[in-house]
């Protein structure tokens, strides 16, 4: 442990109101601490600059799962383990379940939360591509009230997002319209478990009479934020998923992504694999 522990403080608020009140009283000073699976890594390495934390793990208002006829709504504290155990999610939102199953290890899945994955704002996070494909909306709350935002536009630049001091992510809402869509997920990590994504691809499409009636595609680790591949989607709508459209779609994707070299992989690798996964996705749609 490289951190100087006496410099850190943690409080456990009794309920959501108390938590938001605390955050409002000293804006930007208190930072939420959910499962801690991202924060503890920084603490251990002596790289956690923030020093005051609100332990939100026990806030009932951020937990639970609700299913209505139109939506499934997940509390921000929903863990990867809970995601994988939910029947509705397994049936209708397999991409999210796959992402959860391929996140870290069992221990990480027991503590790690969807809200934490979103707010940590890593471009390599694994649940965001699935959330974008499902057109998730997230509810953001503060002492001043609540607002819903489209998740696809939540992340603005590297590690920047539409979340202000004093705000918490409370819930995530998924539209139940994708159950009949053909779905494809593939995480390419450095190994088969306990791996950070080198590239993560989530896609789903409604195929009618051999044509792509609607499609959503998102990728991790290929741009400063998780990427919603809108231009590829535009190009594919109305087309037959086959070799005729493949090249143009791959070119569009290539133009849309901006991968980098880092210690886990290289930009050319990410470009090539993104292209190949798109081809695999189209094969799934054609099949």
Partner 1 sequence: METRVIGKSVPRKEGRKKVTGRARYVDDLSFPGMLHGVTVRSPAARGRIRAIRFEGEIPWHEFTVVTAKDIPGKNCIALLIEDQPCLAAEFVNHPEEAIVLLAHHDKYLLEEARRAVRIEIEPLPAIFSIEDSRARKEIIWGQDNIFKSFCVDKGDVDGAWASAAFVVEGRYETGAQEQLYIEPQGMIAQVSEAEGVTVWGSLQCPHYVHKALMVLFGLPRERIRVVQTETGGGFGGKEEYPSMIAAHAALLARKSGRPVKIIYDRAEDMVATTKRHPSRTRHVTALSRDGRLLAMDIDFTVDGGAYETLSPVVLSRGTIHAAGPYACPNVRIRSRAVATNAPPHGAFRGFGAPQSVFALERHLDRVAEAVGIAPDELRRRNFIREGQTLAVGQVVKEKVDMNGLMERAFALSGYHAKRKKFAAANSDPRGAIKKGIGFASFLHGAGFTGSGEEYLASEVAMEAMADGTVHILAGSTEMGQGTNTIFAQIAAEALRLDCEQIKIIQPDTAYVANSGPTVASRTAMIVGKLVETAGLGLLKSLTDGEFLQPGYTAADFSRACGEYVAKHGPLKTFVKYEHPRDLHWDDLKYSGDAYGAYAWAVYVAEVSVDIRTAEVRVNDFVAVQEVGKVINPVLAAGQIEGGVAQGIGFALYENVVWQEGRMVNAQMTNYVMPTSVDLPAIRVYFEEIPYGRGPAGAKGLGELPLDGTAPAIANAIAQATGVDVRQIPITAETLLEMLEGVHA
Ligand X SMILES: Cc1cc2nc3c(=O)[nH]c(=O)nc-3n(C[C@H](O)[C@H](O)[C@H](O)COP(=O)(O)OP(=O)(O)OC[C@H]3O[C@@H](n4cnc5c(N)ncnc54)[C@H](O)[C@@H]3O)c2cc1C
Residues 37-76 vs partner 1: string with x where CB under 8 A? ----x---xx------------------------------
Residue with tokens 């990728």: 219
Measured in whole angstroms, the distance separating CA 269 from the mean position of its chain's CA atoms is: 22
The entry of ligand X, partner 1, none that residue 112 binds, CB within 5 to 8 Å by partner kind: ligand X
Q: Do the strands 137-142 and 182-189 form a parallel or antiparallel pair, or are they unpaired?
A: unpaired
Residue with tokens 């600059």: 49
Figure out which of the listed residues 22, 52, 71, 111 binds ligand X, where binding follows CB under 6 A: 111
195 binds partner 1 (CB under 8 A): yes
Instruction: Report the C-alpha gap between 80 and 112 in whole angstroms.
Output: 6
Figure out which of the listed residues 68, 192, 208, 287 binds partner 1, where binding follows CB under 8 A: 192
Query: Count of residues binding partner 1 (CB under 8 A)?
Result: 30
107 binds partner 1 (CB under 8 A): no
147 — phi, psi (to 5°)? -145, 150
Q: Which of residues 139-158 bind ligand X (CB under 6 A)?
A: none
Cα 177–Cα 178–Cα 181 angle in degrees, nearest 5: 135
Q: Which of residues 196-215 bind partner 1 (CB under 8 A)?
A: 196, 198
Q: Which stretch binds ligand X (CB under 6 A): 88-96, 103-111, 129-137, 209-217?
A: 103-111
Residue with tokens 């849309």: 256
Instruction: Report the C-alpha gap between 182 and 202 in whole angstroms.
Output: 11
H or E, element range at 219: strand 211-220
125 binds partner 1 (CB under 8 A): no
Contact 72, 66 (CB under 8 A): yes
265 binds partner 1 (CB under 8 A): yes
Residues 265-284 vs ligand X: string with x where CB under 6 A? --------------------
Q: Return the residue nearest ligand X (CB atom).
A: 116
**What b/e string do you get for 126-147 counting C-beta neighbours within 10 Å, with b at 16 or more?**
bbbbbbbbbbbbbbbbbeeeee
Name the residues that contact partner 1, by CB under 8 A: 1-6, 41, 45-46, 188, 190-196, 198, 263-266, 268-269, 272-273, 276-277, 279-280
Name the residues that contact ligand X, by CB under 6 A: 31-39, 41, 62, 76, 103-104, 108, 111-113, 115-117, 119-120, 125-126, 168-169, 194
């Amino acid at each position: 442990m490289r951190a100087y522990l006496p410099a850190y403080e943690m409080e456990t608020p009794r309920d959501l109101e108390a938590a938001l009140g605390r955050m409002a009283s000293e804006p930007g000073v208190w930072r939420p601490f959910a499962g801690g699976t991202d924060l503890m890594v920084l603490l251990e390495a002596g790289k956690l600059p923030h020093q005051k934390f609100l332990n939100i793990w026990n806030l009932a208002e951020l937990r639970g799962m609700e299913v209505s006829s139109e939506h499934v709504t997940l509390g921000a504290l929903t863990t990867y383990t809970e995601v994988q155990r939910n029947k509705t999610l397994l049936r209708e939102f397999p991409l999210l379940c796959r992402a959860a199953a391929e996140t870290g290890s069992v221990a990480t899945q027991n503590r790690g939360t969807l809200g934490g994955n979103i707010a940590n704002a890593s471009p390599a996070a694994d649940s965001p591509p699935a959330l974008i494909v499902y057109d998730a909306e997230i509810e953001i709350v503060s002492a001043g009230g609540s607002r819903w935002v489209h998740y696809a536009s939540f992340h603005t630049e590297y590690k920047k997002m539409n979340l202000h001091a004093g705000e918490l992510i409370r819930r995530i809402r998924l539209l139940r319209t994708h159950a009949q869509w053909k779905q494809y997920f593939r995480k390419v990590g450095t190994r088969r478990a306990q791996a950070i994504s080198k590239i993560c691809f989530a896609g789903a499409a409604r195929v009618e009479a051999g044509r792509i009636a609607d499609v959503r595609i998102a990728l991790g680790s290929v741009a400063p934020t998780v990427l919603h591949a809108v231009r590829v989607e535009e190009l594919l709508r109305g087309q037959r998923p086959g070799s005729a459209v493949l090249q143009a779609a791959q070119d569009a994707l290539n133009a849309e992504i901006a991968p980098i070299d880092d210690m886990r992989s290289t930009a050319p690798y990410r470009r090539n694999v993104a292209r190949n996964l798109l081809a695999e996705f189209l094969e799934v749609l054609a099949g």
